Amino acid sequence: MAWTNPYYDPAKAHHTPHGFRNPEPDTRGAGDLQRWRRERKEAGLPHPPREGYEAFSHRWWQRAAFDGGDDAAWWLGHATMLVRRGGLTVLTDPVLGRRASPLSFAGPLRRTAAPVDVAGLPPIDVVAISHNHYDHLDTATVKAIARRFPQAVFLVPLGLKPWFTRHGLRNVRELDWWDETSIGGAAFTFVPARHWSARTLWNRNRSLWGGWVMAMNEFRFWFAGDTGYSERLAEIGERIGPIDLAALPIGAYSPRWFMRGQHVDPEEAVRLHREVGCRRSVAIHWGAFELADDALDEPPRLLGEALAAAGMTADEFMLLNIGGRIAL
């Protein structure tokens, strides 16, 4: 018997009786994954950074320091951001292990070290999860955070709470697109993204994907998670903005014929920054794992070119070191 979506709401376009979907058309067809893997292997992609992995890590890495109590944000590598605002500390998609994989001996290997481990984190109040892919939801990291910070609330997409329950986590809130919940004086809204979900061969799109907007007083933080470009995302700014700080992905975009519907490239990230109405953005989802054909050092170079073409400055769309910090 086919699995039936227990969350199905026929009034919502992203719901189906058997899971979830993007409102945008799917850009990939049958056989495309196998084609990409074959072409990638034949071309020997991705290439190493131009100066090598060690030099790249030396250039873009620093140990994270959380001293002081002022409002600030840290990029902890890939899609992991830590935001401290008004006494509330929020962590996004915490992945601090060596691999983005269900296996300890295979799968994407971290090319630059995590700038902190769970033992080195400051007290965490909220953990916001965008979706269930292994480079965004790491079992060991999540369970370690829950043990160390039992008061932390885990915010997850619709359909993902049962996964957390199976792993012994109880302080979990599950939201659909545009649902809102309040924690510690901040409102958290789960917002759309153009992506997909799966952790096995059998549960594709059975849980939702998206981003999060944290609103506290006059401050708005948008964590985009994983997303392809969509004009529909401008609605985030229209409904919740303006956005004071955004965490926007810029990596894992190549080849475009295969990745376009799930990952923005740097030029599209700059476009989203403008269309959603972001005052400042931090580039995420690059520099840690080799998930597509782009080399680790290509996204920051292309972001610089995209900013110049758009007449924007590096202060408007920032490249931080892994472990780097900005004041809010």
pTM (2 decimals)? 0.97
pLDDT in tens, 5-36: 999 999 999 999 999 999 998 888 889 999 99
Give the pLDDT of residue 60: 98
243: three-class secondary structure by DSSP: strand
DSSP calls for 73-121: EEE-STT-EEEEETTEEEEES---SSBSSSSSSSSPBPSS--S--GGGS
Amino acid type, 293: D
Residue-averaged pLDDT of the chain = 96
What span, in angstroms and rounded, lies between the C-alpha atoms of 316 and 314?
5
Distances (CA, A) of 175 to 7, 10, 189, 228, 271: 11, 17, 8, 21, 27
pLDDT in tens, 94-125: 999 999 998 888 889 999 999 999 999 999 99
pLDDT in tens, 249-302: 999 999 999 999 999 999 999 999 999 999 999 999 999 999 999 999 999 999
What span, in angstroms and rounded, lies between the C-alpha atoms of 240 and 189?
9
Of all residues in the chain, the percent with pLDDT exceeding 90 is: 94
pLDDT at 221 over 70: yes
The residue whose two tokens read 């998930």 is 291
Give the pLDDT of residue 106: 86
Token couple for 170:
């109880």
DSSP calls for 203-237: -TTSS---EEEEEETTEEEEE--S----GGGHHHH
**Contact at 8 Å (CB) between 296 and 58?**
no
pLDDT in tens, 49-75: 999 999 999 999 999 999 988 999 999
What span, in angstroms and rounded, lies between the C-alpha atoms of 65 and 50?
29
What span, in angstroms and rounded, lies between the C-alpha atoms of 57 and 210?
29
What span, in angstroms and rounded, lies between the C-alpha atoms of 296 and 106?
19
Distances (CA, A) of 278 to 87, 220, 242, 248: 23, 9, 6, 10
pLDDT at 321 over 70: yes
- Per-residue pLDDT band for 162 (boundaries 50, 70, 90) equals very high
**Contact at 8 Å (CB) between 250 and 266?**
yes
Query: What are the backbone angles phi and psi of residue 256, rounded to the nearest 5°?
Result: -65, -35
Give the pLDDT of residue 1: 61
33: three-class secondary structure by DSSP: helix
Distances (CA, A) of 42 to 25, 28, 52, 137, 183: 29, 21, 21, 30, 50
What span, in angstroms and rounded, lies between the C-alpha atoms of 152 and 305?
40
Q: What is the dihedral of CA 215, 74, 246, 173, to 10 degrees?
A: -50
Question: Domain 50-327 maps to which CATH number in 3.30.70.260, 3.40.50.12160, 3.60.15.10, 3.40.50.10490?
Answer: 3.60.15.10
